Amino acid sequence: MDKQKKSKKRIRIGILSFIFLLLCSIYTVRDLFFSAPDVGHFKSQPGQEDYQHYYDKVLASLEAQPVSHDVETSWGTYRVYEWRPEAVKDKTPILLFPGHSSGAPMWRDLIPYLLKDRPVYAFDALGDAGMSKQSLPFEDTKAVSQAVYQMITGLKLEKAHLVGHSFGSSTAAGYAKDYPENVASLTLLEPAFALNYPKASVFFWATVSGLEFLPESWRNKALAEISGEEVSDVASQDDMALMIKAASSSYSNELPTPQPISGDVLKSWKFPVYLALAEKSKVTSQSTTDNAKAIKNLTVKKWKNTTHSLPMEVPAELTQELISFWKKAEE
């Protein structure tokens, strides 16, 4: 009798788990492709305070502190940080596009190395976690590019070397598609959407990671499935990891889902493109590399023993390669 009860209990749990997974999948598809545009926002005041606490700590940990700019656009105000060391102030700057649920502080580990070669600008995306304040929904990805253009114009930048990570790569690539004349070069670090759609499992785990009512262990598992890291790494008490985790669970992202850049557009790009892939990535795949082959001036490298968090894992080595890449791009 006990065995029958246990068997029925397992069946009920299995059915409930299946229903839960199905609902998460439906929610993901609806949210990504069919939901009406809205304005990005924190879901609660405590969640916002938690995120800002770690955001401030990560930013304060940098030895070189930036100049802060608030740049007005038609869709809201961008928070932009500028580092311009005297020795490199006249060189073509780097513009950093952050990944989802992070903000400008995600570049903490790269910035000290980047500053040795060029001025650096990092911003918080409108419609995503950070200090930028969105006031009008983005109706499509073209509007996102227009907002970035207005931000860059407000900063009085002419050309820049664009560097995007993950979802930020799709924003950088979209801007390069719409405003190619303003691009000195384009660097795609573990790009999501820019060259191909991520696997369906990535969409699913991204949804799970943002469900606040789930146990933290489940959300850590979801983040690990996305990044390719161990759960123990995701559960780290590092301020950066805690900042990203707080953003994932407490901020409602409101950005249009990008489409991969078409082959015809990739073929038309005259500026150099650097594509960095992680060996253990769950976001990029062989189709990322295959589609990138349409780019005429392309450099591709797969970094061994790295995950989707590649720029945080090999900052010194990656920057060394990028400095050589930028120098060649300007020859």
How large is the average pLDDT for residues 271-300? 94
* For residue 224, pLDDT beyond 90: no
Cα 129 → chain centroid: 11
**Of the candidates 222, 227, 228, which has an alpha carbon nearest to the alpha carbon of residue 24?**
222
The Cα–Cα gap between 146 and 286 comes to 31
Query: Residue type for 190, please?
Result: E
Report phi then psi at 278, rounded to 5: -100, 140
How large is the average pLDDT for residues 187-193? 95
pLDDT on residue 201? 66
The Cα–Cα gap between 194 and 261 comes to 6
Helix axes 239-250, 216-227, angle to 10 degrees: 110
Lowest mean pLDDT of 66-70, 142-146, 237-241, name the range. 237-241
The Cα–Cα gap between 194 and 227 comes to 17
If 0-12 CB within 10 Å is exposed, 13-18 middle and 19+ buried, where does residue 186 land?
Answer: buried
Cα 1 → chain centroid: 53
> What are 136's two structure tokens?
């009008």
pLDDT (tens digit, 9 = 90+) per residue, 125-184?
A: 999 999 999 999 999 999 999 999 999 999 999 899 999 999 999 999 999 999 999 999
pLDDT on residue 233? 62
Report phi then psi at 122, rounded to 5: -130, 140
Three-state DSSP at 120 gives strand
How large is the average pLDDT for residues 222-239? 66
More confident residue, 236 or 170: 170
Q: Which letter does DSSP use for residue 190 in this model?
A: S
Query: Quick one: pLDDT band at residue 37, thresholds 50, 70, 90?
Result: low
Q: Supply the Cα-derived Rg of the chain in whole angstroms.
A: 20
Instruction: Provide the mean pLDDT of the chain.
Output: 86
The Cα–Cα gap between 321 and 329 comes to 12
SS3 per-residue string spanning 197-235: CCCHHHHHHHHHHCCCCCCHHHHHHHHHHHHCCCHHHHC
pLDDT (tens digit, 9 = 90+) per residue, 76-120?
A: 999 999 999 999 999 999 999 999 889 999 999 999 999 999 999
CA angle in degrees (0–180, nearest 5) for 203-206-209: 155
Cβ atoms 129, 251 nearer than 8 A: yes
H/E stretch holding 80 reads strand 76-83
Three-state DSSP at 260 gives coil
Cβ-count burial 240-249 (b if 16+ within 10 Å, e if not): bbbbbbbbbb
In the chain, pLDDT over 90 holds for what percent of residues?
67
Cβ atoms 69, 80 nearer than 8 A: yes
Query: Quick one: pLDDT band at residue 1, thresholds 50, 70, 90?
Result: very low
* For residue 207, pLDDT beyond 90: no
pLDDT (tens digit, 9 = 90+) per residue, 303-318?
A: 999 998 999 999 999 9
pLDDT on residue 24? 44
> What are 183's two structure tokens?
């691009």
Query: Quick one: pLDDT band at residue 16, thresholds 50, 70, 90?
Result: very low
